[in-house]
Structure formats: structure tokens, C-alpha cells
Amino acid sequence: MRLLRKAVITARTRGVVTMLAMAARKVARSVDVRRDQAADRIEALAPFSVPDPYQPDTVPRPHLRWQAAEHLRLRWYVPEPGRGSGGHQTLFRLVHLLGQRGHDSEVAVLHGEHVARTRGEMRRFVREQFGADAPVVWDTDEHTDVDVVLASSWQTAYAITADVRCALRAYVVQDWEPDFYPRGAEQILAENSYRLGHAHIAAGPWLAARLQGIGVAADVFHLGADQVAYYPSEEPRPEAGQHVVFYARPFTARRCFELGCEALRLLDLALGPGRLTVSMVGAGIRPFPTPYRARWLGVLPPAELRRLYAGADAVLVLSATNPSLVPLEAALCAAPVVDLRVPSAEGTFEDGVTGVLAPPSPGGLAAALRGVLEDPAAARALGRRARQHALTRTWDAAAETVERHLLAALRRAAGAPALL
């Protein structure tokens, strides 16, 4: 309508011919933009056509043979790290803890030559943001020999096929990334990344089952939770009424931001005016009108998140694919966690015992949240059980499991007998 009104005004003030000429130029520019975008997309996807899982000869074999050394040398290929990234948090915790177990790591940043930081600056950023100190290289650098190169995303799974200075290629799978895209080229290429012959180590049984469903073997490790940073305490609520912390990431589709917002609107209606306060965390969001009191807190450090979780009546954390670190971190604070009742969530919490798994609809989520808020004694008991469950998921155990799977895969690749 706005464009139509502008066209009418232009026709009246400058004439119909001028208006039509302006419209023609606008259409031409729009076509040019779409043409440029199409060319950019084709160029961006070109690197994923060279290693073809359906033509094994296009994937070069590693050039080294494992020497059964006690300490491993590892090269981790990662997308550019960003502040607050849960996927990078998991990878760098593993890097740090495997270092404590005697294994040396370096981090190869994908498209590193295009990032704003130097290698040294990137190393400092990783150390300060994620607590891991490892040499940083770019994916295009001349690399040294290592025992294992590891992928951490579907794009890096393709990138490591060019790294032959290793004895093994492995892929730490943290989510089912084909689901990040509509059915099309990117989804197919993401799924093909699981067929490139790497040794797969999946973050949880749901992912391993998805991989096995396409005929790909996978080992499993469980995500840990930081028991030092997250713990319960008596925290003051922000205001009178009831307080929900919502992990809100509108630009991450699998986080179901719209479902959560609509559920909170319905919850506010059910509770009545002035009773609900919602703390939005996890991403910087431009404030918008809400019927409830909303606090727009963005990406917070663990100490502030802990205080929020410990003082919340409920924590709403939604994931339509593999669960992240957030539910376990909230559970360590004895907070009642509400998530979607989908197959991927069932390995994290047991519904009604260690968490609440709600039907995946706004009404279902609102009803689940209301049930938690209106029975504080049951919610506190649920939070205590959730904490006991989360205490069993340690990062030390995760690192030990990944180490064991890597050693087993190296033995298989070298033709050595497996250790019982």
C-alpha cells in the first residue's frame, strides 16, 4: 500500500510517464539484486561440490598412519567463534579438558583469512570468552601433522576432507543441521556431510539415532553442565508476581521464538494483569510491546544467568532439534525447566520428573508453564530433582568419552585390535 500511495503521488505531481519510468528502474534494480544474490549463493555453495560422498574417489584419504602415541595431536575446524555461542562453548570445553588429559589441540578457523581478528587476537578471544588456550590457525594455512582432524559443523565436515596431514578425520555432531534449512540445496549438502566417511561422535542418543537412520555409524557422548558456575541459592525476584526466564533467540529458527512469545501472551491472559514478569535472555532483541512486564537482558555472563535461573519460577528453553547446554545449566540452579515434548528432548529430561515437556503449541506451553507457576511446592521439588539429574552430566565425563571414542576410531583406522 505504501508503494501504491507513493506511485499515485508521483503520478499527480510529476506525471504518469515519470512515475512509470521510476517504477521500471525500481523493478530493474530489484531484478539485478536478485540476480546478484543468486550468483552469490551459487559461489558460496561451490566448495561443497568437490568432496562428493557418492563418488568416494573425490575424498582424499588421510596420508598418515597412527603411531599409537600416548598423547594425541588434534586439529579442530570451527566456524568463526562468536560471543555466547553454545556450540563453540562445548567444543572449547572439550579442547581444554582434553588438554588436561595430555592431548594437544590447535583450532583451525573456517574462512579465517576473512575474519576481523588476527590469529593471535582470535586466540585471546577464545581464551577470554571460552576458557580454552590453544594455538589458532586458519583453515587455509599450511598445516602440521596431527593424529586427528575434527569437524564441528556441516561446512567444516567438507573442509577437513582437504586436510590429509592426519591419520583420522572425525566429526563432532552437535545438532541435526539439515533441519536448519528448508528442503533444498543447503539441506541436501548438510545431510551429505554425514556421508563423507568421517568417524562420528554425536552429542546424545537422538543424534546418533538420526545418523544411524541414514546408514551412518555414530558413537555418543553426553553434554555436560558447569557445576562451578551454576548452582542454586535464594535469589530475590525482580518484582512481585511470577517470573519466567525465556531463552529467546528470534534469529535461530529451532529456538521457536514465536511459539514461546505466544505462549507467554496466553500465560499472561490466564494469570491476570500485572502478575507476570519475563526476562528475555540469549540474544540482543530490540524491545517490542508485551502485555506482561518484559526485561530485555540479551547475552549475559554465567554469574548473571545463574542469579536469574535461581530466582525464577520457571525457565522456558525451547529447541525443536537437539537440546543445548542451557536446560542443564538452568537445572543446576534447581530451576523448573519447560521445553518442547519432541523426541530430541527426551534424552535430557524425564517429563514430570526432572523437567516439564510440553505439547509443541502455544496453548500447550502456556498450560505447562501455568501448571508450574500455580504449584510452587511441586515446582521446587521438580527443580531439586532436575539438579540431581544435571549433577550426573559432567564435562569431565564428556571429555573422557570423546577421548575414548577417538582412540577407538584411530585403532580401527590403523587396523589394530580394539581394547576391551
Q: Are strands 168-173 and 148-151 parallel, antiparallel or unpaired?
A: parallel
Provide the whole-model pTM: 0.84
Mean local confidence (pLDDT), 115-140: 95
Mean local confidence (pLDDT), 85-101: 94
User: With 80 as the cut, is the pLDDT of residue 280 above it?
Assistant: yes
| C-alpha torsion sign, points 160, 176, 412, 66 | positive
* The three grid cell numbers given for residue 35, joined into one nine-digit string: 540476480
Query: CA-CA distances (angstroms) from residue 55 to 60, 116, 155, 169, 192?
Result: 11, 36, 18, 18, 12
Question: What confidence tens digit (pLDDT) does each residue in 158-206 have?
Answer: 999 999 999 999 999 999 999 999 999 999 999 999 999 999 999 999 9
Q: Are 407 and 417 in contact (CB under 8 A)?
A: no
CA atoms within 13 A on the CB side of 135: 12
Q: What is the predicted pLDDT for the residue at 96?
A: 97
In angstroms, the CA 153 to CA 77 distance is: 8
Mean local confidence (pLDDT), 89-114: 96
| C-alpha torsion sign, points 243, 245, 251, 253 | negative
Q: Do domains 56-224+397-414 and 242-393 have the same CATH topology?
A: yes
- Per domain, the residue ranges of the chain are 56-224+397-414, 242-393
In angstroms, the CA 225 to CA 326 distance is: 9
Confidence of residue 58 (pLDDT cuts 50, 70, 90): very high
Query: At the fourth CATH level, which superfamily is domain 242-393?
Result: Glycogen Phosphorylase B; (3.40.50.2000)
Query: CA-CA distances (angstroms) from residue 123 to 73, 89, 106, 119, 319?
Result: 18, 14, 10, 6, 30
Q: Output phi, psi for 354, to 5 deg.
A: -120, 0
Higher model confidence: residue 85 or residue 420?
85
Q: Output phi, psi for 195, to 5 deg.
A: -105, 15
Name which of 369, 197, 380, 364 is nearest 275 in CA terms. Answer: 369
* The three grid cell numbers given for residue 263, joined into one nine-digit string: 505462549
In angstroms, the CA 257 to CA 38 distance is: 29
E strands present in 271-378:
276-281, 293-298, 314-316, 337-340, 356-358
Mean local confidence (pLDDT), 333-342: 96
- 56-224+397-414 is a CATH 3.40.50.11090 domain: yes
* The three grid cell numbers given for residue 330, joined into one nine-digit string: 538452568
User: With 90 as the cut, is the pLDDT of residue 311 above it?
Assistant: yes
Q: Are 66 and 148 in contact (CB under 8 A)?
A: no
